[in-house]
Amino acid sequence: MGRLNYKPYFPKNDPYQLFETEYKNLSNTELNKWKNFKTRITKSEFIKNSLANKQSRICPICSKIINEKNQVVHHIDYERLCEFETYLTISSPTGKNKNLKIQVPNCENCPTSDICLGKVVLIHSACHMILHKQEGRIKKINNGIKKIPFPKKKKIHQSVPKNYWINKSSTDILKIVDEILNFMNELSENEVFTVNYNKFYIELMPENIVYFKPENNYLKIIISYGNFDKWLLKLKNNNINSEIKKRTSYRLSFIINYNQYELHKNLINNIIKDNLNKYTSNNITEYSPQSSQSSQTSLF
């Protein structure tokens, strides 16, 4: 332990303290920029390769060679906002999950990536564990280890006017939402549905069994119930970007523009009808992947 040169690489600041002090009042945009640097940058192949070349693949903690299987990007300084608000979703297949996708900032095209590279270092994963254990970030519990959790800033789903989403997309895209809402109310016998516009998505009230995320000239529709395998196949056969994803439960999502909606309105209405029927039936059964052969990829 004494031969390890870990002390010079203790972080200069603590993300929790930054979150409670200098970064306490970050906007959602700024918070996402910080998350790009604080979390997502560690998965960037550009950053890993740049650090490996800079360090000649030598771990500064133990002075031994680092290989790709035991390397980790370690932060010396957490005080940095990424240049980008958004991130890239890229494929990163593993032996256990060939469909794995990860989120990384666009470091390769960033004009100030040298600043970030000056705040991180490439070290062994084992050295990383020792360093944070010595620092106090990781504590022993019942002969095991536990990483002290970093607090998440809870999203407040602030209501916004309809024009907020029109400005982010278009009147045609919001027209799709209105038409689907009207269609559901025509079918529904017991409930009157409305929509609530908030900063993150458009939710259905009183039960959010379908919700919407407009973006530019496209609309993402997320469905809670129905025969997902059947609809996924039909959507893909019509060249509509669609997928199944599990968070708390499985969801079917698809992305359309206004022309696609007009062309495939019957199909979309049938999906909405199936969703509503499954929701209103006395025996709601959620989608199960056990009988499905469809691939499952990331929803967002």
- Show the domain range for 33: 7-147
**DSSP at 65:** B
pLDDT score, position 291: 43
- SS3 of residue 52 by DSSP: helix
> What are 112-129's pLDDT values in tens digits?
999 999 999 999 999 998
152 domain residue, yes or no: no
2 domain residue, yes or no: no
Last residue of a domain, one of 119, 147, 175: 147
Based on the domain organization, do 21 and 133 belong to the same domain? yes
Last residue of a domain, one of 118, 147, 176: 147
Beta pairing class for 120-124 and 71-75: antiparallel
pLDDT at 1 over 60: no
Mean pLDDT of the chain: 84
Based on the domain organization, do 137 and 235 belong to the same domain? no
Based on the domain organization, do 49 and 107 belong to the same domain? yes
Going by pLDDT thresholds of 50, 70 and 90, the confidence category of residue 161 is very high
211 domain residue, yes or no: yes
Going by pLDDT thresholds of 50, 70 and 90, the confidence category of residue 92 is confident
**Radius of gyration over alpha carbons of the chain, in Å?**
24
> Total domain count for the chain?
2
pLDDT score, position 259: 95
The per-type count for the chain, helices as H runs and strands as E runs, is 10, 12
Last residue of a domain, one of 87, 122, 147: 147
